[in-house]
Chains A and B, each alone.
Chain A
């Protein structure tokens, strides 16, 4: 990769509030960092924690979830359910060593185009300071480590002599993450 690294943020915006606010930011011609890719959902309650993990695993440096303010959800309470999942996910991410700034939940109402701009700019700056998360690269490295380890074990066993139950030349281990 020859060009300078810039954070990539995947955003899940709810249709009624945050997506509309992002549209308003567009209509108002506010300018903000181009690092965000917005995926539209009907409600922040639809966000499955797996989406967030998958995005990070595939190379996103940060994930932004946008929903309606508490009490204002178009579907009454979907955003509260999102909040619950998000709180648990945060703790899990901390255990995994992923910085809390990388996964962010914001309440943005349909009238808050300015907030969309502010949040995206802020998050981009924070992630620039933190640097790339680079999970795909890390996965590939770990896979290589595992393969190298398997090869080493194989060599040692070959040197130690044949064992009746185990084949002499075991199958090489495949990368665990495609």
Chain B
């Protein structure tokens, strides 16, 4: 129904936004200009439209002046469209009779000439006036939310989110790529600043996850496909073959003890390659679930070649003492295949975490060149009592004459490896100063060596962190302020023979130093996982310029993404320590709960519908819809749209040759009048 000019009574408001808009845009002039346009009954300028008095002003004006359209020229609709729509509704008018003009983010904040900025504001305002006359009253769509939740990633973030939701009575699927949950935290020895044992605080939570009735734990599994939209996701999960029946394995590990390999032989991923394992193994003693798995790449029972479909060929080369040891339980199954499972959930929380910077990318520090240069994660495993050396910190390379491994008497810890660096990663990884100091403390405890920390700045932003730093100073750790230039084994003096020399400018003393040490530890930074770009597409998320998953708003919406129903938690959104990770996981769980408990999500009513009379039955629109919302009625030879599935993109509208598809809120008439309005002002 077309509104004629006589029927339309528009109220126009231009906001000063304090100085944000008014400093550049002449708001009173804009208001005066708009007041002259047909259909405009009142035109005001006001300091803060989004404030309570501002909103009340709108409501009052609607009642007193019988407004039937409202236009506000202020900030971005992405920020306050909802605020003003609610205000209009409270004033008794359908909220979709409202339109918003962006003269802040798109005008006063990005231009410098007062006259031109004001002209632009007038043009944009005119466009809105022309457009809003065509607005129709619409109703918000309510989409029901499926109560189950998918949590992707079983590190501390995923574990905490899953437990929070499960304890609230929701059914949670926790999908983890590794054979056990625990993530990076499971590999740490102690955590800063309290020096709590990481495993001691983590394993109770892991155990709770494993036994929680509301959590379906799928480890060694990956999400491969996500279809649907908020409240109604259909997710395909690939459960990789462990060659073990998870429900039959009791975790007794007799198979491992009886493997034909008497000694472990293969590099152990959990211990960063420092230790060894057998083909049948459990990642670490407290793994959850307590189930072993078999590595087909090295197990004698599998041939090297693969079947055409990628599954390993079972060869029968081996005596299979493991099967014998398993006995009646019969948990081992060499013919097991990958399995594809499908689940339906309403919300998804992505907690896929980070990867550590590859120290080989900074050859000047000698990782991979000199055997006694270690990464921080390798040291975590060395100092850990259940690590490959039982907690003994020993050096690689030649042993002592009596055959015992050498222990370091001096250790250099280099901060900011791969972080704060134009050549590698620009950001600060946030946790390295703290963990470097933690390692300084632990290494001193384990070896009594002289410890040197080489830093650019000491960053201790958390609770108890600065106090931890002071404690380290009292322990006698040497802190040298300077970015290390190189690690070399060139000896300039006899004392340096056989050592690794750290060359650094000590900026506080103003000299270049050579510090010979036995062991070098690189505080490698955090970076987005290598497959972040593919993973984000699965969930229809974006990555920021630096590669971390993008949050909806850095300050006000750090756990939401631009896709409704998909949330983020933990380091996949940006580097952070464990307290912040847990806080964020709780926040994401709360956001999901908010949706689920309300039971529905409100969708913009900008769906499309087809005008029956005008549809020619050409079927151009049918294949265009990614949600298959457009169907064809063969008997009547007309297309029609299932509005429950329509997401309001407008692609079909833009392509219909007869113009018979109409999109609410973005009708052709509305957009043409915006174009007309924006160009009419000269």
Contact = CB atoms under 8 A, between A and B. Distances in A.
A25 interface: yes
Given A37-B120, A76-B626, A111-B543, 11 more contacts: A22-B105, A34-B120, A37-B123, A38-B102, A38-B124, A42-B648, A75-B626, A76-B540, A81-B654, A85-B654, A85-B655
Nearest to A20: B78
Given A55-B679, A59-B679, A81 B651 contact: yes
Contacts of A106: none
Interface in A30-80: 30-32, 34, 37-43, 45-48, 50-51, 54-55, 58-60, 71-72, 74-78
**Top-6 shortest CB links A-B:** A26-B105, A46-B650, A45-B651, A75-B649, A76-B626, A43-B649
Contact of A110 (B110, B119, B550, B648): B550
A155 to B, nearest CB: 36
A16 interface: yes
A126 to B, nearest CB: 19
B109 A27 contact: yes
B365 to A, nearest CB: 31
Given A29-B109, A29-B110, A38-B102, A45 B650 contact: yes
Contact of B666 (A37, A41, A75): A41
A23 B105 contact: yes
B678 interface: yes
Contact of A111 (B116, B545, B606, B668): B545
A10 interface: yes
A2 B574 CA distance: 53
B674 interface: yes
A110 B542 contact: yes
Contacts of B624: 81
Contacts of B654: 45-48, 81-82, 85
Nearest to B651: A45
A119 B425 CA distance: 27
B113 interface: yes
22 contacts: A10-B679, A16-B562, A20-B78, A27-B105, A31-B112, A34-B116, A34-B119, A38-B124, A39-B674, A40-B102, A43-B649, A46-B649, A46-B663, A55-B679, A59-B679, A74-B649, A78-B626, A85-B654, A110-B542, A110-B550, A112-B545, A117-B110
Contacts of B127: 37, 39
B77 interface: yes
Given A27-B109, A39-B127, A111-B545, A8 B679 contact: yes
B120 A51 contact: no
Interface in B466-522: none
Q: DSSP majority for the A interface?
A: mixed
A107 interface: no
Given A23-B105, A37-B120, A46-B653, A58 B550 contact: no
A20 B102 CA distance: 12
Contacts of B676: 54, 58
A81 B626 CA distance: 11
A78 B537 CA distance: 15
B118 to A, nearest CB: 10
B76 interface: yes
A51 B651 contact: no
Contacts of A31: 110-112
B563 interface: yes
A43 B651 CA distance: 7
A36 to B, nearest CB: 8
A178 interface: no
Nearest to B680: A58
Contact of A78 (B109, B649, B680): B649
Candidate in A22, A37, A72 with the most chain B CB atoms within 10 angstroms? A37
B672 A54 contact: yes
Contacts of B107: 34
B169 to A, nearest CB: 32
A42 B77 CA distance: 12
Contacts of B647: 75
A16 to B, nearest CB: 6
Contact of B110 (A26, A47, A50, A75): A26
Contacts of A10: 675, 678-679
Max chain A CB contacts within 10 Å: which of B102, B106, B123?
B106
Interface string B597-617: 000000000100000000000
A23 B650 contact: no
Given A46-B650, A46-B666, A111-B544, A81 B655 contact: yes
Interface in B634-654: 647-651, 653-654
B147 to A, nearest CB: 25
A58 B679 contact: yes
A20 to B, nearest CB: 7
A26 B672 contact: no
Interface residues of A, number: 50
B678 A37 contact: yes
A143 B457 CA distance: 73
Contacts of A23: 76, 78, 102, 105-106
Interface in B111-142: 111-113, 116-117, 119-120, 123-124, 127
B110 A30 contact: yes
B328 interface: no
B626 A26 contact: no
B202 interface: no
A109 B546 CA distance: 13
A98 B424 CA distance: 45
Contacts of B117: 34
Given A27-B105, A41-B650, A77 B78 contact: no
Contacts of A16: 562
A51 B672 contact: yes
A38 B100 CA distance: 12
B42 interface: no
A125 to B, nearest CB: 16
A1 interface: yes
B682 interface: yes
Nearest to B665: A42
Nearest to B668: A48
B394 interface: no
User: Which of B649, B650, B682 gathers most chain A CB within 10 Å?
Assistant: B649
B33 to A, nearest CB: 15
A53 to B, nearest CB: 10
Interface string B55-81: 000000000000000000000111000
Nearest to A37: B678
A74 B110 contact: no
B671 interface: yes
Contacts of B177: none
B21 to A, nearest CB: 11
Contacts of B675: 10, 39, 51, 54-55, 58, 60
A111 B561 CA distance: 13
Interface in B80-120: 102, 104-107, 109-113, 116-117, 119-120
A32 B120 CA distance: 13
Contacts of B76: 23, 26
Given A39-B678, A40-B77, A59-B679, A111 B550 contact: yes
Given A19-B78, A51-B675, A110-B550, A42 B666 contact: yes
A131 B655 CA distance: 31
Nearest to A24: B105
Nearest to B671: A51
Nearest to A39: B674
Most buried by B among A19, A47, A48: A48
B562 A110 contact: yes
